């Protein structure tokens, strides 16, 4: 299977010149070789000098992933939550913004059962508290949960450079920060979802970066700052992964001691070549998304999973846009297919009754009538996401009149 995929990658693309992927690879490697030869002579010293300016490097790396993702907004809109982990993180975020850790149970909680959420004796997400911190920060500062995710990804790139500066040379530290900014930046699922669990990576950067800096004078202000950063990292790690905290932190520290210092053995020229090759690979796929569907469709088969253009997210977005055009508050009953046992479409905020849209499980006509009586002022809908195509219909119990609106 893997051998077949390798050979398939050399099938020519559909163009009048017969210019295929193999030709593209040869041309790309040739250009990279020329850039490596001449570029290092022109930019090598400048990059090394810039890598030593810690504050400027951290600022540039903080802005880089968020700016690249925002530049794609005309073609790729902000993400829509589609998984249970994302819904759990958003519920946790909303709960924290209500200044509480749990919510009172709903009188009709059986309609709102969904993975990763407990309904009784309290209504809460079972995810660790750390998963809701970034979406909550974005909602608090910018009225957008996704803004918190962008801030987190930028902070991860900047803190990766800061962490590596304590262990290896500035050039390799900058290289590591750029790799993190690209790998977990505009094309990554971390940036294009609402799963805030990667805050554990931020805590790891603080811990591993502060440890070698504790060798400084204990009476200095810098030493006190590093102790504080170490404490913050440990606290965040405990909130992010409380069950794995005791095992994860020692392994992280041991890996840093054994592996990071060995990067000093490599020459700066190799660093420049690796940075150039990785940057070329990232810019190619970023350019395909920026240029639009025509260019992207030509190479989509060779790019693996397409995080920015998933069919499931497009269905969720279409349903959300349909409901947003309706005035007033909505009640949506979700009817899954017989082969689907999960209730991933059921997602509600910390205060269910105050939400503009309430998502509920379809429990049959008799049971649904109870919830309809409770939400008399809301317009009721029936969503069948597993139908082909998915259907959203107005729902009325009694006569069971179903008006197809989409």
Q: What pLDDT score was predicted for residue 260?
A: 61
Three-state SS letters, 115-167: CCEECCCCEEECCCHHHHHHHHHHHHHHCCHHHHHHHHHHHHHHHHHHHHHCC
Q: Using 50, 70 and 90 to split pLDDT, how confident is the model at 326?
A: confident
- Within-domain flag for 285: yes
The SS3 call for residue 207 is helix
Q: Which of 307, 328, 344 is the last residue of a domain?
A: 307
Query: Residue 151 pLDDT > 90, yes or no?
Result: yes
User: Which two structure tokens, joined as six digits, stand for 131?
Assistant: 């998963």
Q: How far apart are CA 112 and CA 295, in angstroms?
A: 42
Do strands 379-384 and 357-361 pair parallel, antiparallel, or not at all (unpaired)? unpaired
- Please name the residues in contact with 56: beta carbons below 8 A apart, sequence gap of 6 or more: 50
Domain count, the chain: 2
Q: Using 50, 70 and 90 to split pLDDT, how confident is the model at 137?
A: very high
Q: What pLDDT score was predicted for residue 401?
A: 43
- Within-domain flag for 130: no
Q: Specify whether 318 is located in the same domain as 299.
A: no
Q: Specify whether 10 is located in the same domain as 149.
A: yes
Q: Specify whether 163 is located in the same domain as 237.
A: yes
Q: Using 50, 70 and 90 to split pLDDT, how confident is the model at 278?
A: low
- Within-domain flag for 326: yes
Top pLDDT among 156 and 299 is at 156
> Residue 345 belongs to what domain range?
309-404
125: β partners: 117
Top pLDDT among 213 and 19 is at 213
Q: Specify whether 270 is located in the same domain as 359.
A: no
Residue 337, Cβ neighbours under 10 Å: how many? 11
Please write the tens of the pLDDT for every residue from 16-53: 555 565 566 666 666 666 666 666 666 667 777 888 89
Instruction: Output the CA–CA distances (angstroms, integers) from residue 379 to 110, 296, 327, in the order listed.
Output: 20, 40, 9
Is the entire prediction scored with pTM above 0.85?
A: no
Structural Rg of the chain based on CA atoms? 25
Q: Which of 286, 307, 328 is the last residue of a domain?
A: 307
Q: Using 50, 70 and 90 to split pLDDT, how confident is the model at 82?
A: confident
Q: Using 50, 70 and 90 to split pLDDT, how confident is the model at 270?
A: low
Q: What pLDDT score was predicted for residue 381?
A: 92
Q: Using 50, 70 and 90 to split pLDDT, how confident is the model at 118?
A: very high
Q: Specify whether 372 is located in the same domain as 257.
A: no
Query: Residue 104 pLDDT > 90, yes or no?
Result: yes
Q: Specify whether 141 is located in the same domain as 257.
A: yes
- In the chain, the percentage of residues whose pLDDT exceeds 90 is 29
Q: Which of 262, 280, 307 is the last residue of a domain?
A: 307
Lowest mean pLDDT of 91-105, 320-334, 335-349, name the range. Answer: 335-349
Q: What pLDDT score was predicted for residue 250?
A: 66
Q: How many helices (H) and strands (E) does the chain have?
A: 14, 7
- Within-domain flag for 87: no
Top pLDDT among 203 and 405 is at 203
Q: Specify whether 258 is located in the same domain as 400.
A: no
- Within-domain flag for 105: no
Helices 54-71 and 170-183 pack at an angle, to 10 degrees, of 20
Q: Using 50, 70 and 90 to split pLDDT, how confident is the model at 108?
A: very high
Q: What pLDDT score was predicted for residue 4?
A: 41
Q: Specify whether 388 is located in the same domain as 246.
A: no
Q: Specify whether 315 is located in the same domain as 331.
A: yes
Q: Specify whether 63 is located in the same domain as 24.
A: yes
The SS3 call for residue 19 is coil
List the one residue out of 167, 148, 183, 147 whose CA is nearest residue 61.
183
DSSP 8-state code for residue 12: B
Q: Specify whether 216 is located in the same domain as 170.
A: yes
The SS3 call for residue 359 is strand
Q: Specify whether 199 is located in the same domain as 58.
A: yes
Top pLDDT among 110 and 283 is at 110
- Within-domain flag for 175: yes
Query: Residue 7 pLDDT > 50, yes or no?
Result: no
Please write the tens of the pLDDT for every residue from 172-200: 888 889 889 988 888 888 898 888 778 88
357: β partners: 330
Do strands 391-395 and 402-404 pair parallel, antiparallel, or not at all (unpaired)? antiparallel
Please write the tens of the pLDDT for every residue from 49-68: 888 899 999 999 999 999 99
User: Which two structure tokens, joined as six digits, stand for 155?
Assistant: 């902070």
- Within-domain flag for 128: no
Query: Residue 169 pLDDT > 80, yes or no?
Result: yes
DSSP string, 176-227: HHHHHHHHTSTTSTTTTS--GGGHHHHHHHHHHHHSGGGGS-TTSHHHHHHH
- Within-domain flag for 280: yes
Q: What pLDDT score was predicted for residue 239?
A: 84
Please write the tens of the pLDDT for every residue from 241-262: 776 666 666 666 666 666 666 6
Mean pLDDT (the chain) is 79
């Amino acid at each position: 299977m893997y051998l077949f995929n390798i050979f398939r990658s050399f099938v020519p693309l559909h163009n009048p010149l017969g210019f295929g992927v193999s030709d593209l690879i040869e041309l790309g490697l040739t250009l990279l070789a020329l850039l490596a030869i001449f570029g290092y002579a022109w930019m090598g010293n400048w990059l090394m000098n810039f890598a030593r300016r810690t504050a400027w490097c951290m600022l540039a790396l903080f802005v880089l992933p968020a700016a690249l993702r925002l530049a794609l907004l005309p073609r790729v809109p902000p993400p829509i939550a589609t998984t249970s982990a994302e819904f759990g993180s958003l519920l946790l975020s909303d709960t924290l913004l209500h200044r509480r850790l749990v919510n009172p149970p709903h009188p009709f909680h059986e309609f709102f059962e969904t993975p990763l959420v407990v309904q009784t004796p309290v209504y809460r997400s079972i995810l660790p508290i750390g998963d809701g911190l970034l979406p909550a920060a974005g909602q608090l500062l910018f009225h957008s949960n996704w803004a918190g995710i962008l801030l987190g990804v930028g902070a991860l790139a900047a803190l990766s450079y800061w962490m590596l500066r304590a262990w290896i040379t500035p050039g390799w530290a900058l290289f590591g920060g750029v790799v993190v900014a690209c790998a977990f930046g505009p094309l990554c699922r971390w940036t294009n979802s609402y799963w805030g669990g990667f805050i554990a990576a931020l805590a790891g950067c603080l811990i591993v970066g502060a440890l070698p800096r504790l060798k400084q004078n204990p009476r200095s202000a810098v030493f006190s700052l590093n102790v504080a950063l170490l404490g913050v990292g440990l606290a965040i790690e405990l909130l992010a992964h409380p069950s794995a905290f005791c095992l994860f932190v020692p392994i992280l520290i041991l890996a840093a001691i054994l592996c990071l210092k060995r990067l000093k053995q490599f020459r700066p020229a190799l660093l420049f070549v690796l940075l150039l090759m990785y940057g070329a690979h990232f810019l190619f796929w970023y350019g395909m998304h920026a240029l639009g569907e025509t260019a992207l469709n030509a190479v989509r088969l060779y790019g693996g999973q397409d995080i920015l253009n998933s069919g499931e997210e497009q269905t969720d977005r279409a349903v959300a846009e349909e409901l947003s055009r309706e005035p007033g508050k909505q009640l949506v009953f979700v009817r899954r297919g017989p082969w689907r046992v999960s209730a991933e479409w059921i997602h509600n905020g910390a205060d269910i009754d105050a939400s503009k849209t309430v998502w509920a499980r379809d429990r049959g006509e008799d049971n649904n009538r109870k919830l309809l009586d409770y939400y008399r002022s809301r317009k009721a809908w029936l969503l069948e996401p597993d139908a082909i195509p998915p259907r959203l219909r107005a729902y009325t119990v009694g006569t069971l009149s179903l008006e197809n609106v989409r």
